[in-house]
Structure 1
């Protein structure tokens, strides 16, 4: 009988259940925000992202900030000329300008014209005709939706510089008064993830992290940004698994965005020191897991080590009370295993199992049991390779 091939080690990543006190009511941060919706993306006829001055745009219960001037990105004429040498997209007999001209000749209301134009845009993007889609989007009035779609097209076309300008413009729009409710934006992110629209989800998650900073309660801000990091990791992992250009976006853009989220979390002032340190360690674990997902194991190792150092510095011997300390140790073991250092991997897996038994902040016994089971499996596979 052929010898069973040991399975690759599993990265330990979990979303902790964190109780926070806000306006004298105890809530779970992110409660219901990230639950899967029963509404399928295919059934949605139109998704409206609140824009500045839009009657549906609502102001969250946050501290007031001055409005920020919105800089809308459009491709310059020089860049349009330059892009022709980079473009590999096949041309089609019917161009977006033809369709736009046909729409303009119709006797339609502004609302109906916008609806038809967006339906045409959706059709072009679904059929990977991103060059035509860009030409059509630039005819739209500046809005968050326009910048979101334009940034996705540029990412798909490999024009990262242009895409990042659009993302920056979108972030400015979203964080200018009146701002959309962050919960509404995260629901839209959830729909995009469910529909495998990972680039859009990644872009909006970067906006959500910035929106959370406007909350008047600093612990809500810290926990909210941590939630964004958790889902950003899963988006990066999904993009990396698709390979080719999508893995490139995960590596070149996703890693930068999740690292920026960690910076946003660290910049929040007024939060409880211990709570913030715990959330920062969780964030470092997500950043490390994201590096693991794209195959950058040494960088992942650095993130996990930094998280362990932070926990030891903040909590000392009490660090073992927090399950994230066990996650970080386990993932250091996984990084060593990927790099072929099996004795060190074995040592860190054993340390993680000890912490998992001692940790006091598990959300449930089932989660604790699953993590212990996963670490034991990683340890067993490592020991099998070590013996060979």
Structure 2
């Protein structure tokens, strides 16, 4: 086997001690000249507060001082250039963008190229210093890109944890103040409507699930929060979902879920109320097995009979409030008529004979029931909703709940 080839640093002339000392003394003046050039060329830099400008000066001073050490041993390029950015405050990437950093580095390297080579004692040293400035500038540029990439990764990881905490808080019904503060940190519109969808994740790989959900949400132009909680995917969708357009949005978002039912909770007025939507959606997901023909996605309000049979007190309350109580308050024997019609197995004539009224009277009353409750007794699914609601209403009245 041939011996391993160890890369050697680029050959350079022997810099004199006087030249190296001159370079060290010039680093401070170089940093000041760089700041002056940035101040004159970059309007946004002039508007920066004094503490932020001082942080930039610290980075330049460290980079200029490390240049001399880099000349002594170019193999230390990665360590020395990285130290220049480690010396800066951790939040520097938040108020200086990567594009702005490139502009700052360009000006600083220009000043290095103008002022340092002239300190060489002869033509050979000056040529070497010119080349060294260019190579060092390249290392600085790569160090800046690495620093911003690391900051972006850390920020992304923090945002992901914050988002997971938000979704978990929505599911558990945490305090409104903590939820809203986290939402504001993520840039969520606190006044936007919210709808919670739950179902099975499409993959065992959480990053793949997150990417698919976010891609679909971006295509629909909606903000989204999501969390994978074991075998359950919870998605909080921002914006209105009423009408055919809203239904299309829910249908498209449901494609990001895996096999099995997808349940959408009620749309609430703001993120502060999203825990109500989440509670209904999760209750519906547990009860949807009772309706094999349920559409995908299905609204939790369409699963009230199954949720009530599963023991959900909120579903029982909604059935009483939406069906039974309006019929009782409407009067006109509407409640008695729908009960008789269901007991007669949906046979209009039998119901009319039971009530001692004309068939047209029964038809009129059933139309009124449909107008008041939104459920048509002649439809099999609506008939089930009405039947369960009436049973729940009797039980609630027997317990003195209304």
TM-score of the superposed pair, with normalisation by structure 1? 0.31
The structure showing larger relative contact order (alpha-carbon pairs under 8 Å, at least 6 residues apart) is 1
**Which one has the largest radius of gyration?**
2
TM-score of the superposed pair, with normalisation by structure 2? 0.30
